[in-house]
Amino acid sequence: MVHWLQHETGGLLLLCAVSIAVLLFLILKVKLEPFIALIVSSLLLALAAGLSVETIVGTALKSDTSLLEKGFGTILGHIAPIVGLGTILGAILERSGGADVLTRRLLAVAGERGAPLAMGLAGLIFGIPVFFDVGIFVLAPLVYITAKQGGRSLLLYALPLLAGLSMTHAFLPPHPGPVAAAGLLGVPLGWLIVYGLVCGIPAFLVAGVAWGAWIGKRMFVEVPEEYVTAEREKAEAAEEETARDEPEPSLTIVGLIILVPLVLILLATFGTVWWKGSPALPVLTFLGNPVVALTIAVLLAMYLLGIRRGISGTELSEVAARSLRPIGMILLVIGGGAFFGAVVKATGVGDALAGTLKDAGMPVILLAYLIACGLRLAQGSATVAIVTTGGIIGEIVKAEDYSQGHVALIAIAISAGSIIASHVNDGGFWIISRYFNMSVRDTLKTWTVLETILSIVGFAMAATLSIFI
């Protein structure tokens, strides 16, 4: 039986399908943490495919060449510092009041008619360095107050904001999903930034601005009065505290700190083309390494938004420590997904799947999107959908002679699939339902549709561009 599975394409694909079914069963029915479920399903796949114990876990004397350690170590060595530094950067921007400054300025420029677009742009810009749920917690009070002052449906302001936050979280570094996809597929982050923006901005405009305006005029959602009162009192108290102790952060400095790591990473990625042979290239390569670029941004934020404005080093250290606590499980899930990918490679499932795709004529980018969509719909976690899909698709991508731009588009397709149709098995669904005063039915009619549009348009852009790249 094992011999047949190792040499028959059908048997290998069946094994892969069964391991995914086991993964979903453990998450949905047994309620195991996704991290543990990924390890269990990976081990079962490896054993069923006939891999030796030494190959899977090593020996008592030497385990650093095992699939388990190589799977976890390779991806986490790439991702952990990027996600950690990005998280700290977002926390400092949040603590400094940079989000309030950015949103108020955008609202002042846009006026009442342009307020929904201003909220969307605030989510888009502030969503680059902060996690999705943190963006909601920080910016929701401003949405309440703006909607109350405008006397219009809360949806008109909330949906553009959510689309901006969701787009950056799904498509752009330093968020865990895109960084994990880049690591699993072996593509530089600079390419992901470029195509994340190219594919993500149209998706944001269609899902957040166009859909948000259409549904917002047809569904009136009241601003929860208790939130408005509480948040107004909190905002007034914060303004008084800021006036006494800390000057308001400069919008220019906030924008600079957000842009610095993105620009440095882009310069390093494309410097080999633009400045090949130049003595400046090693400097750009060093500064544009994602870890170095984000370290520079964090140090700038600590000084310009922290120490220079009277925030002590001790408080900044506490802010950083608090921000890092929630990311432990995210990193473990990503490591588990990388282990799954290592097993897929070792068992030959990736080669079998590649051969089947060629015979069927299905583009890899479409398969990547469909797998990610299926995993997202089944178990709700975008991160699990990305790392599992990346593990399956990664070896196919590396075996083909794709350009880096094409691989980046496949990563975008995976990310797009990972956010489709957020519903009741997604924690973000319940956060949005609660924060924006909607029933389950209304959240399905608004937020779930928004995420589906964002996913489909983002994938359509990536698939179209892949034809020419």
Is 116 inside any structural domain?
yes
Residue 37 in domain: no
> Are the C-beta atoms of 455 and 375 separated by less than 8 Å?
no
**Is residue 2 over pLDDT 50?**
no
Residue 143, CA distances (Å) to 49, 96, 154, 199, 435 in order:
53, 19, 8, 26, 10
Share of the chain above pLDDT 70, in %: 92
The pLDDT > 90 percentage for the chain reads 46
Q: What is the pTM of this model?
A: 0.89
Reported confidence tier of residue 3, pLDDT bands at 50, 70, 90: very low
pLDDT number for residue 228: 56
Residue partners of 23: CB distance under 8 A and separation at least 6:
37, 38, 41, 340, 388
Which has the minimum average pLDDT: 151-160, 183-192, 242-251, 268-277? 242-251
pLDDT at 314 over 70: yes
What is the reported pLDDT for 280?
Answer: 82
Mean pLDDT of 287-301: 95
| Closest-CA residue to 400 (of 459, 343, 358) | 358
**pLDDT tens digits for range 180-209:** 999 999 999 999 999 999 999 999 999 999
- What is the tens place of the pLDDT at every residue in 13-68? 788 888 888 988 998 889 888 889 999 999 998 898 888 888 888 876 666 678 88
Confidence check: pLDDT of 463 > 60: yes
Q: What is the count of structural domains for the chain?
A: 1
pLDDT, tens digit (0-9, with 9 covering 90-100), for 442-455 = 999 999 999 999 99
* CA atoms 33, 37, 40, 46: torsion sign: negative
Average pLDDT over residues 234-262: 73
In a domain, 45, yes or no: no
Domain presence at residue 95: yes
Residue 92: both structure tokens together:
């400092």
SS (H, E, C) 134-173: HHHHHHHHHHHHHHHHHCCCCHHHHHHHHHHHHHHHHHCC
- pLDDT at residue 236, as a whole number: 55
> Over the stretch 75-101, which tens digit does the pLDDT of each residue have?
888 889 999 999 999 999 888 888 888
Asked whether residue 389 is domain-assigned, the answer is yes
Residue 6 has pLDDT above 80, yes or no: no
**pLDDT of 127 strictly over 60:** yes
Residue at 364 is within a domain:
yes
Average pLDDT value for the chain: 87
pLDDT of residue 180: 92
Q: What are the start-end ranges of the E strands in 324-390?
A: none
Reading the block at residue 341, the tokens are 């990918």
| pLDDT grade for 5, boundaries at 50, 70 and 90 | very low
- Confidence (pLDDT) at 208: 95
Helices 427-435 and 132-150, axial angle in degrees (round to 10): 20
Q: Which of 1-10, 53-62, 186-195, 249-258 has the lowest mean pLDDT?
A: 1-10
Is 55 among the domain residues? no
Helices (H), 58-131: 67-96, 98-110, 115-126
pLDDT of 1 > 50? The answer is no
Domain that holds residue 418: 61-468
121 CB-near residues (< 8 Å, 6+ apart): 106, 164
Do 173 and 200 contact (CB within 8 A), yes or no? no
Residue 244, pLDDT above cutoff 50: no
Q: What is the pLDDT of residues 386-439, one digit of tens each?
A: 998 998 888 788 878 899 999 999 999 999 999 999 988 888 899 999 889 899
On the question of pLDDT at 230 being above 80, the answer is no
In a domain, 12, yes or no: no
* Under 8 Å between Cβ of 85 and 295: yes
